[in-house]
Chain A
Amino acid sequence: MSDVRLTIDGKEVTASRGMTLLDAAQSVGIAIPTLCHHPQLEPYGGCRICTVEAEQGGVTRLVASCIYQVAPGLVVRTRTEKVNRIRKVLLEEMLAHAPESEILLNLAQDYAADKDRFEKEPSFCIHCGLCVRYCAELKQKHAVGFIDRGAQREIHFIPEIAGQECWDCKECFPLCPTSALQAAYVLTEALLTPAKKPSCCS
């Protein structure tokens, strides 16, 4: 693996080709917040909380550091005013759904995010996709997926698969950044619904 030299927050960093900005930053002790990132899963780039500024050839772009790969001469800034502002608004948007999430509340302090800025719509899910991807990529069960799109997008357990697989596994519960109860709740609901079916169909 050839080495790539870049700058992160003024520090000279030597990284290996193919590494993400997030990994390169962590290797020199620079912390970047993440929510949808999981070292064992494919990079996803959904939550965007890891957004940083990356400058190359005089052009500065905002990129998701959990996906963007190191490049020679890249100048990365992880805490500019713009980045802070974006993270603040993203946190405020997510806190409208998961006002009790400890991870979100801790980050809200770092970024002076107002947890009450937006009207609450407690659905608890922030769509990080950790449960969905963990189940698909590592367990290869596909018991939980996303349904619908846009503002209607939700996680959803597939009753036929969940009924077989989930009770003995539940490995996705602790991954949830908002509350493990969320996954449990949706799962229970999914499993209870089909049980009602026969009585109404017969």
Chain B
Amino acid sequence: MCRICSAETLEKTRQEIRLRSDPSTPCIAVCAGAGCLASGAAEVIAAFEVELESRGLTAAITTRGTGCPGFCERGPIVVIHPQEICYLQVKPADVAEIVATTLVDKQLVERLLYVDPATGSKITREADIPFYKNQQRNILGANSRIDSKSLDDYLAIDGYAALAKALLQMSPDQVLEEIKRSNLRGRGGGGFPVWRKWAESRNAADPTRYVIVNADEGDPGAFMDRALIEGNPHSILEGLIIGAYAVGAHQGFIYVRQEYPLAVENVNLAIRQAEKSGLLGNDILGSGFDFRVQVHKGAGAFVCGESSALMTALEGRAGEPRPKYIHTAVKGVWDKPSVLNNVETWANVPLIIHQSADWFAQFGTAGCKGTKIFSLVGKITNTGLVEVPMGVSLRQIVEQIGGGIPAGKRFKAVQTGGPSGGCIPASQLDLKVDFDELTKAGSMMGSGGMIVMDEDTCMVDIARYFLNFLQDESCGKCTPCREGIRQMLKVLNDITTGKGHEGDIELLEDLAATTIGASLCALGKSAPNPVLSTLKYFRHEYEEHIKNKNCPAYACKSLLAFNIDADKCKACGTCRRSCPAAAISGAKQQVHVVDQQKCTRCGTCFSVCPSAFGAVQRLSGAAAASVSATMTLAPEETG
């Protein structure tokens, strides 16, 4: 492509690209994000290319691998433009039929459409699927409109227009002022006002400054940053260059976790394209502003996403948090002023500059503007990436977008904020989701992870699960984090295995207070959240485990027993045949019995016993203990 060296050449290039591509030309867009690639998208794209070739349709119909629209669970996703017909879970074997039926005969392949579980009706257009319909996809929306490897595609959707505006029509102060007016807050967890960090760096005495993208995304289950940087890498670059201009930085870093090879590949490609076109390097767009970017692959742990640890890692040392009583915005990488923002934060910047702070601020609540992407997973019908305006209620996310809880189960809680976030109970489903409300409720926004839990989830076990993760992910440098987590985890292990004592809850609270109060970095300061938030809303579950050795959710295996009710057993043999531990004895017309010593408490018998009989009892607490006790005594009595 020719070098884009001014606002005029940028606009001219954009017009040429738009003229070349007629929006009414049929286009097959296949998601080529990591999720869909894992479920076979590359094979689907290849099959389309072969099929179009053999029918001589390659000129008339284009094929495109797009960024991730967030509905990975139903992937590979194929959208046929311009009608926006959406096919889900497409396999290479479906391709010939799609081409023949939809592209040639203009008919629908009904069996590949989304079926609304509520009404049973089929939905044709992507935008009408409830999962998408109730979202506000300001940032994610572009992902499915472009080929993530094409600069032209990004330019066609107004890409780099914000950069031209910032560099050529605005002073750095005006850019800063616009970001301030938008009230954009950091999306990486803390919700810190972006303009304040930028201004602090800009005002720092040292003229060598850095801007950094945090694409470490160590939060298991979250993948919004991956989807953005993989699907629309130029938007992150554009945001970063604008930020660099506002701050007065000439060097940027993109810190991507190594486990995201496609993100690394796409962002490196985008950098090369931008350099070649004159959008990165010296005298960008003829503005006189110079800026370069380097990608750094992070091989580290969860804690490497923490700002001071990330900066230490950028310097080439072990990624370990440092005390930072002086903000990294003033003294960061190599002690130079360094602005670190999250991927999603940077993605918002071009939108604000291009469409104005007022446009941005029309979304959201008084204190939290714009949208936020959540990664919705767990016991919920639709899982995937969900972008909504700040202030939408949890209920809307869970029920309308997520489609509620499958299998007729009851909603119990939603865990937000990643491993050191907290659990919010059903009674708070109407909570308006933003930084401040989540914190008030004892949880946090974190990076936007959202794990839905149903009635079968034990809240003590959940706290144990997250503390177990954090015990391995803490860097281990400071005592309250390393030892506090170790001791809290021990108590939780005891409680969930029937070894809890009176006083354990108070002990947890004591340990938590020290860990929060004295830890060096935010990992330690937030690590007790899973414990404290479940204690806040589900204290009775802790008490049941401790006092009665009872797990009300029937999840803690050590506290369970399965027993066959002799009066109800019809000796059908289903449980005996299904038991993976061969713990059930019985024969035709003979009541079946569970050998409690062999039983691994997997619950298979309970779920396979025909509901008409309901002969298998699932027990916890005293009832479980007495079943286990009688059964272990039995051999002695007979023997």
User: Would you call A45 and B472 a contact (CB within 8 A)?
Assistant: no
User: Would you call B479 and A152 a contact (CB within 8 A)?
Assistant: no
Q: Does residue B485 face the partner (Cβ distance < 8 Å to A)?
A: yes
Q: Does residue B474 face the partner (Cβ distance < 8 Å to A)?
A: yes
Residues on B with beta carbons closer than 8 Å to the beta carbon of A63: 325
Residues on B with beta carbons closer than 8 Å to the beta carbon of A46: 477-479, 520
Q: Does residue A126 face the partner (Cβ distance < 8 Å to B)?
A: yes
Residues on A with beta carbons closer than 8 Å to the beta carbon of B12: none
Please tell me the size bucket of the interface on A: 20 to 34
Q: Does residue A67 face the partner (Cβ distance < 8 Å to B)?
A: yes
User: Which residues of A (125-165) have their CB < 8 Å from a CB of B?
Assistant: 126-127, 129, 146, 148-153
Q: Does residue B337 face the partner (Cβ distance < 8 Å to A)?
A: no
User: Would you call B483 and A153 a contact (CB within 8 A)?
Assistant: no
Q: Does residue A110 face the partner (Cβ distance < 8 Å to B)?
A: no
Q: Does residue B544 face the partner (Cβ distance < 8 Å to A)?
A: no
Distance in Å: Cβ of B298 to nearest Cβ of chain A: 14
User: Which residues of B (450-498) have their CB < 8 Å from a CB of A?
Assistant: 470-480, 482-487, 490
Q: Does residue A101 face the partner (Cβ distance < 8 Å to B)?
A: no
A148 vs B482: C-alpha distance when bound (angstroms):
12
Most interface-central of B471, B473, B477, B484 (chain A CB within 10 A): B477
Q: Which of A85, A93, A153 contacts B487 (CB 8 A)?
A: A93
Q: Does residue A37 face the partner (Cβ distance < 8 Å to B)?
A: no
User: Would you call A67 and B323 a contact (CB within 8 A)?
Assistant: yes
Q: Which of B301, B323, B490, B517 contacts A45 (CB 8 A)?
A: B323
A94 vs B478: C-alpha distance when bound (angstroms):
11
Residues on B with beta carbons closer than 8 Å to the beta carbon of A152: 472, 476
Q: Does residue A69 face the partner (Cβ distance < 8 Å to B)?
A: yes
Q: Does residue A86 face the partner (Cβ distance < 8 Å to B)?
A: yes
User: Would you call B474 and A151 a contact (CB within 8 A)?
Assistant: yes
Q: Which of A82, A93, A119, A146 contacts B479 (CB 8 A)?
A: A93
Residue of B nearest to A45 (CB): B323
Residues on B with beta carbons closer than 8 Å to the beta carbon of A69: 325
Q: Tell whether A153 pairs with B479 under 8 Å between CB atoms, given A48-B518, A48-B519, A119-B490.
A: no
Residues on A with beta carbons closer than 8 Å to the beta carbon of B514: 85-86, 89-90
User: Would you call A150 and B487 a contact (CB within 8 A)?
Assistant: no
Q: Which of B475, B480, B490, B519 contacts A150 (CB 8 A)?
A: B475
Distance in Å: Cβ of A48 to nearest Cβ of chain B: 4
Distance in Å: Cβ of A61 to nearest Cβ of chain B: 10
A154 vs B325: C-alpha distance when bound (angstroms):
27
User: Would you call B518 and A90 a contact (CB within 8 A)?
Assistant: yes
Q: Which of B473, B480, B490, B513 contacts A149 (CB 8 A)?
A: B473
Residues on B with beta carbons closer than 8 Å to the beta carbon of A82: 517
Q: Does residue B173 face the partner (Cβ distance < 8 Å to A)?
A: no
User: Would you call B482 and A150 a contact (CB within 8 A)?
Assistant: yes
Q: Does residue B510 face the partner (Cβ distance < 8 Å to A)?
A: yes
Q: Does residue A167 face the partner (Cβ distance < 8 Å to B)?
A: no
Residues on A with beta carbons closer than 8 Å to the beta carbon of B487: 93, 96, 118
User: Would you call B472 and A149 a contact (CB within 8 A)?
Assistant: yes
Q: Does residue B112 face the partner (Cβ distance < 8 Å to A)?
A: no
User: Would you call B325 and A153 a contact (CB within 8 A)?
Assistant: no
Could you mark each residue 506-527 of chain B with 1 if its beta carbon is under 8 Å from any beta carbon of chain A, else 0? 0000110110011110000000
Distance in Å: Cβ of A23 to nearest Cβ of chain B: 15
Residue of A nearest to B477 (CB): A46
A133 vs B323: C-alpha distance when bound (angstroms):
16
User: Would you call A149 and B476 a contact (CB within 8 A)?
Assistant: yes
Could you mark each residue 38-62 of chain A with 1 if its beta carbon is under 8 Å from any beta carbon of chain B, else 0? 0000010111110100000000001
A132 vs B92: C-alpha distance when bound (angstroms):
57
A63 vs B486: C-alpha distance when bound (angstroms):
22
Q: Does residue A68 face the partner (Cβ distance < 8 Å to B)?
A: yes
Residues on A with beta carbons closer than 8 Å to the beta carbon of B490: 119
Residues on A with beta carbons closer than 8 Å to the beta carbon of B470: 150
Q: Which of A47, A67, A96, A146 contacts B325 (CB 8 A)?
A: A67
Q: Does residue A183 face the partner (Cβ distance < 8 Å to B)?
A: no
Distance in Å: Cβ of A57 to nearest Cβ of chain B: 15
User: Would you call B323 and A127 a contact (CB within 8 A)?
Assistant: no
Q: Does residue A64 face the partner (Cβ distance < 8 Å to B)?
A: yes
Distance in Å: Cβ of B490 to nearest Cβ of chain A: 7
User: Would you call B480 and A48 a contact (CB within 8 A)?
Assistant: yes
User: Would you call A150 and B476 a contact (CB within 8 A)?
Assistant: yes
Distance in Å: Cβ of A132 to nearest Cβ of chain B: 11
Distance in Å: Cβ of A116 to nearest Cβ of chain B: 13
User: Would you call B482 and A151 a contact (CB within 8 A)?
Assistant: yes
Distance in Å: Cβ of A9 to nearest Cβ of chain B: 19
A67 vs B322: C-alpha distance when bound (angstroms):
10
Residues on A with beta carbons closer than 8 Å to the beta carbon of B323: 43, 45, 64, 67-68
Residue of A nearest to B319 (CB): A149
User: Would you call B513 and A85 a contact (CB within 8 A)?
Assistant: yes
Residue of B nearest to A35 (CB): B479
Q: Tell whether A146 pairs with B476 under 8 Å between CB atoms, given A62-B518, A93-B483.
A: yes
Residues on A with beta carbons closer than 8 Å to the beta carbon of B513: 85-86, 89
User: Would you call B471 and A150 a contact (CB within 8 A)?
Assistant: yes
A94 vs B487: C-alpha distance when bound (angstroms):
11
A100 vs B458: C-alpha distance when bound (angstroms):
40
Residue of B nearest to A91 (CB): B479
Residues on A with beta carbons closer than 8 Å to the beta carbon of B486: 93, 151
Distance in Å: Cβ of A146 to nearest Cβ of chain B: 7
A63 vs B480: C-alpha distance when bound (angstroms):
13
A51 vs B135: C-alpha distance when bound (angstroms):
46
Residues on B with beta carbons closer than 8 Å to the beta carbon of A129: 477
Residue of A nearest to B487 (CB): A118
Residues on A with beta carbons closer than 8 Å to the beta carbon of B519: 48
Residues on B with beta carbons closer than 8 Å to the beta carbon of A126: 479
Residue of A nearest to B518 (CB): A48
Residues on B with beta carbons closer than 8 Å to the beta carbon of A45: 323, 478, 520
Residues on B with beta carbons closer than 8 Å to the beta carbon of A127: 476-477, 479, 482
Q: Tell whether A149 pairs with B517 under 8 Å between CB atoms, given A93-B479, A127-B482.
A: no
Interface residues of B (CB under 8 A from A): 301, 303, 323, 325, 470-480, 482-487, 490, 510-511, 513-514, 517-520
6 interchain pairs, CB-CB under 8 A: A62-B517, A62-B518, A64-B518, A85-B514, A126-B479, A153-B477
Interface residues of A (CB under 8 A from B): 43, 45-49, 51, 62-64, 67-69, 82, 85-86, 89-90, 93-94, 96, 118-119, 126-127, 129, 146, 148-153
What 10 A-B pairs are tightest by C-beta distance, nearest first?
A153-B476, A93-B483, A89-B514, A48-B518, A150-B474, A45-B323, A67-B323, A62-B517, A151-B486, A149-B476
